[in-house]
Amino acid sequence: MSLYDIFLSNTGRPIHKSGHYFFAYERHFGRYVGCPVTFLEIGAGNGGSSQMWKRWLGPLARIVTIDINEVCRQYEDEQIAVRIGDQSDPSFLQSLIDEFGTFDAVLDDGSHHMVHVTKSFDFLYDKIAANGVYMIEDMHTAYWPDYGGGRGDPRSMVERFKGLIDDLNADHVRDGTVAPTAFTKQTVAMTAYDSILVLERAPFINKTMKMVGDDTQRMNY
């Protein structure tokens, strides 16, 4: 069953998602289906989404869902751990890593306020698995001043993401304005969708450029 089918056929606790998000979920989280995975969901909402992840990812998935709202404690279930805290609190986030180990995948569907989204990302990104995935959804709020965003506003996560594209490519910047960082070394892909940002890590990235094939057939260009 596709994740979208699981979503549409849900009759349990409510889930709140845009239809086109499933394209991104299937592409970036699909590799975990049926496999061991520790999945962190920021924002439990009504508790339906963690059930959806569990049904889709399968019996080897450990879903950790966090929320600032104490009411969400009731969503704890087999394979689903609920912890109450603030997504922007580094000591709370560290306590999750201490308890559950390294997260393979993070989905930030929490407050969607730039200050929270940024703090979670800054703390968690380089602590997820070396081949992990970090996804932030509902980033239309990055354009909204009441969420701390706005087009061109340096606090916006979309603006931050645009800047990180330079860090991703820092090995090729010749004017010295961007220096390679750990992010450059450990990030293999950045993908933007309407309202969704995705960053993927890799423990090793072979960036050696080679010309292969029959050299006598090579044209100069």
Ligand X SMILES: C[S@@+](CC[C@H](N)C(=O)[O-])C[C@H]1O[C@@H](n2cnc3c(N)ncnc32)[C@H](O)[C@@H]1O
Nearer CB in complex with ligand X: 38/49: 49
Distance, CA of 144 to CA of 150 (rounded, Å): 5
| Alpha helix positions (H), 33-89 | 48-57
Contacting range for ligand X; rule: CB under 6 A; set: 11-19, 96-104, 123-131, 194-202:
11-19
Helices (H), the chain: 3-8, 21-29, 48-57, 90-100, 114-124, 157-168, 182-186
Residue from 44, 61, 168, 197 touching ligand X (CB under 6 A): that is: 44
Q: How far apart are CA 83 and CA 65, in angstroms?
A: 7
- 57 is a contact residue toward ligand X (CB under 6 A): no
Residue 42 Cβ vs ligand X, minimum distance, rounded to whole Å: 6
Asked if residue 141 binds ligand X (CB under 6 A), the reply is no
Catalytic residue check, 112:
yes
Q: Which residue is nearest to ligand X (CB)?
A: 45
**32, 122, 127, 55 alpha-carbon torsion, rounded to 10°:** -20
58-78 b/e with 16+ CB inside 10 Å = b?
Answer: eeebbbbbbbbeeebeebeee
Nearer to ligand X, 67 or 104 (CB): 67
Our finding on whether 28 is near ligand X (CB under 6 A) is: no
As measured in angstroms, the least distance from the Cβ of 31 to ligand X is: 21
The single residue of 16, 20, 28, 112 carrying the catalytic annotation is: 112
Judged by the rule CB under 6 A, the positions of this chain that interact with ligand X are 15-17, 43-46, 48-49, 66-69, 86-88, 109-111, 116
Which residues are identified as catalytic? 112
